[in-house]
């Protein structure tokens, strides 16, 4: 551990205690722990896909609106074809009415 033995560590702890005070040390330790957790989280986030890449895979609202309008157009064409077929059947069988 960087060549520090028990006497050096005790001396270092005493100096840090004198410089920062006993009330401030737990706060500093907690901040160091948070920093380490954030660092680990940042490293692990590199393995997950980038949100921009994921966004490209999901359909946009524009493409959904375009699809809806295409479906509505197809439904309108289908309704016209059904009306033409019904009219054609009425012409083909005039006595059936």
Spell out the domain ranges in the chain.
7-48, 59-97
Q: What is the pLDDT of residues 17-73, one digit of tens each?
A: 899 888 888 888 899 999 999 999 888 877 666 666 655 555 566 778 888 889 999
Q: How far is CA 6 from CA 9, 22, 24, 25, 36, in A?
A: 5, 21, 23, 20, 25
Please name the residues in contact with 4: beta carbons below 8 A apart, sequence gap of 6 or more.
12
Distance CA 69, CA 63 (A): 10
């Amino acid at each position: 551990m960087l060549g520090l033995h028990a006497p050096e560590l005790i001396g270092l702890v005493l100096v840090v205690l004198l410089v920062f005070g006993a009330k401030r040390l737990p706060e500093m330790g907690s901040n160091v722990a948070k920093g380490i957790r954030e660092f680990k989280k940042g490293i692990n986030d590199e393995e997950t896909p980038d949100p921009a890449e994921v966004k490209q895979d999901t359909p946009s609202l524009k493409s959904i609106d375009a699809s809806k309008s295409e479906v509505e157009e197809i439904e309108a064409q289908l309704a016209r074809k059904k009306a033409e077929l019904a009219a054609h059947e009425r012409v083909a069988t005039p006595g059936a009415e």
